[in-house]
């Protein structure tokens, strides 16, 4: 889902990260508030004041999104749902789950926590505005607080739309799941609604664009595209998880993979291995023990005219949880590791001995076949 992200801080044990795309949203929000919303609704402030109000509104939105997603994460923790952290990106924020909720009740409680948090926050801002707001002319601070109360009500209302993977869609899925006791069917129905809602926003964006609201139209179109793709991907991910449940790594593993010695020159590595076998990673073995692995990005750290002067041992990475697994590893978590790290090949180790290699393409081919064979009509 995300590109380059930066860790900001840790809150209640959860990492809060910001995707670089969120900076675009922050600039757009600040600009639209300073040049549009606040001047239109509150007159007689100086241009500098409007800009400070815009910055304050953007920071308030940042706080509101983190508060919303943190509520999801805290409730998820109570139900034993693993959460990787919170990431803010151009379309808002997301609490990243590494596994599906264990029950319909846990999903319902986790999903509803976000909108409730936003409603509570909106009520708090309304109370602050009522207590500290001026009787006559509206002060800049009161105007910002009013905006934050409104935006949190909008955030709660939008997320309650029963379109997966929005919170309302997850609530709907939990209800269908509890009623039919079939997670796959519940996800299929809620994701279809989510996809339809995304299509509606796309069409709405086109209409707005044609009628002259260019920025609003483009924004609606992009949000619709994101929701439509996210809903469809969520269902595919569930199918993948279900297809991999109970499977063993040995089913996907290639035994006796091609290995390289650490004494090999980088030029020989390129010519005799990367070009010949066209793998993106090779295990590095010495004395029948794995000492690490070597990949194309590691090779490219050296200029091509210096490849004859360096060996594989100089660039090989040590075995870590990001490039190696055991034969007992959960295939679902293996696939998650590949997605998180970008490594399409992982070494399968047994006490520093190489057992085999698992490749992403082999896992995906298995998934495609199993889904086709077992798909419900």
Does 195 or 20 have the greater pLDDT score? 195
Above 90 in pLDDT, residue 97? Answer: no
Above 70 in pLDDT, residue 134? Answer: no
Does 342 or 115 have the greater pLDDT score? 115
Q: Residue 272 — pLDDT band, cuts 50, 70, 90? A: very high
Above 60 in pLDDT, residue 3? Answer: no
Helices (H), 42-166: 47-78, 104-132, 140-159
Mean of per-residue pLDDT scores for the chain = 85
Residue-wise pLDDT for 290-320, tens only, equals 888 999 888 888 888 889 989 998 888 888 8
Q: Residue 23 — pLDDT band, cuts 50, 70, 90? A: confident
In whole angstroms, what is the distance from residue 297 CA to residue 320 CA? 17
Mean pLDDT score, 316-339: 85
Mean pLDDT score, 345-364: 87
User: Residue 255: which H helix or E strand, with range?
Assistant: strand 254-255
Per-residue confidence (pLDDT) for residue 4, from 0 to 100: 66
32, 6, 80, 173 alpha-carbon torsion, rounded to 10°: 40
Lowest mean pLDDT among 4-13, 66-75, 200-209, 311-320: 4-13
Residue-wise pLDDT for 111-130, tens only, equals 999 999 999 999 999 888 88
In whole angstroms, what is the distance from residue 65 CA to residue 111 CA? 14
How many other CB atoms are found less than 10 A from the CB of residue 365?
12
- What are the structural domains, with CATH classification, of the chain? 5-244 (no CATH), 249-374 (3.10.580.10)
Per-residue confidence (pLDDT) for residue 284, from 0 to 100: 92
Question: In this structure, what DSSP letter does residue 15 have?
Answer: E
By CB atoms closer than 10 A (0-12, 13-18, 19+), residue 230 is: buried
Mean pLDDT score, 138-157: 88
Residue-wise pLDDT for 210-263, tens only, equals 888 777 788 888 888 888 888 888 887 787 777 777 788 888 888 888 999 989
Distances (CA, A) of 187 to 108, 192, 246: 13, 8, 20
Per-residue confidence (pLDDT) for residue 241, from 0 to 100: 78
Q: Which phi and psi angles does 177 have, rounded to 5°?
A: -60, -45
In whole angstroms, what is the distance from residue 125 CA to residue 271 CA? 65
Q: Residue 182 — pLDDT band, cuts 50, 70, 90? A: confident
> Could you tell me the pTM of the whole model?
0.73
Q: Which residues lie across from 357 on neighbouring strands? A: 254, 347
Q: Residue 377 — pLDDT band, cuts 50, 70, 90? A: very low
Angle, CA of 89, 91 and 97, to the nearest 5°:
65
Strands 289-295 and 324-326: unpaired
Mean pLDDT score, 357-372: 82
For residue 129, the SS3 value is helix
Reported for 93-101, long-range contacts at CB under 8 A and 24+ positions apart, including other chains, are 93/65, 93/66, 93/68, 93/69, 94/1, 94/69, 95/14, 95/69, 95/70, 98/333, 98/336, 99/332, 100/183, 100/238, 100/241, 101/76, 101/174
CA 5 to chain centroid? 10
Per-residue confidence (pLDDT) for residue 376, from 0 to 100: 55
In whole angstroms, what is the distance from residue 201 CA to residue 176 CA? 24
Helix, strand, coil percentages for the chain (3-state, nearest 5): 60, 15, 25
């Amino acid at each position: 889902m995300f590109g380059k992200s930066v860790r900001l801080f840790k809150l209640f044990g959860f990492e809060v990260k910001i995707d670089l795309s969120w900076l675009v949203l922050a600039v757009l929000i600040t600009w639209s508030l300073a040049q549009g919303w606040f001047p239109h609704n509150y007159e007689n402030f100086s241009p500098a004041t409007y800009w400070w109000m815009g910055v304050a509104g953007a920071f308030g939105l940042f706080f509101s999104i983190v508060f919303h997603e943190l509520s999801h994460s805290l409730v998820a923790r109570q139900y034993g749902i693993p959460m990787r952290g919170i990431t803010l990106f151009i379309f808002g924020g997301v609490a990243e789950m590494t596994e599906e909720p264990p029950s319909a009740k846990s999903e319902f409680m986790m999903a509803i926590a976000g909108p409730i948090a936003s409603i509570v926050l909106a009520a708090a801002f309304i109370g602050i505005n009522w207590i500290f707001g001026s009787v006559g002319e509206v002060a800049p601070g009161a105007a910002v607080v009013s905006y934050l109360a409104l935006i949190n009500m909008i955030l709660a209302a939008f997320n309650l739309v029963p379109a997966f993977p929005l919170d309302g869609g997850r609530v709907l899925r939990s209800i269908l799941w509890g009623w039919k006791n079939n997670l796959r069917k519940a996800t299929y129905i809620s994701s279809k609604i989510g996809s339809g809602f995304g299509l509606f926003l796309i069409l709405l964006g086109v209409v707005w664009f044609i009628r002259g609201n260019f920025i609003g139209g483009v924004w609606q179109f992009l949000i619709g595209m994101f929701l439509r793709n996210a809903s469809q991907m969520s269902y595919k991910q569930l199918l993948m998880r279900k297809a991999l449940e109970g499977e063993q790594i040995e089913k996907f593993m290639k035994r006796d993979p091609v290995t390289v010695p650490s004494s090999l020159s980088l030029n020989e590595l390129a010519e005799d291995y990367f070009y010949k076998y066209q793998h993106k990673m090779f295990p590095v073995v010495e004395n029948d023990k794995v000492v690490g692995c070597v990949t194309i990005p590691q090779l490219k750290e050296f200029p091509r005219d210096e490849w004859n002067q360096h060996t594989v041992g100089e660039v090989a990475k040590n075995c870590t949880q990001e490039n190696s697994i055991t034969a007992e590893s959960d295939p679902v978590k293996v696939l998650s590791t590949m997605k998180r790290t970008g490594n399409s090949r992982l070494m399968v180790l047994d006490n520093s001995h190489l057992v085999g290699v698992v490749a992403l393409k082999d896992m995906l081919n298995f998934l495609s076949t199993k889904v086709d064979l077992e798909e419900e009509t």
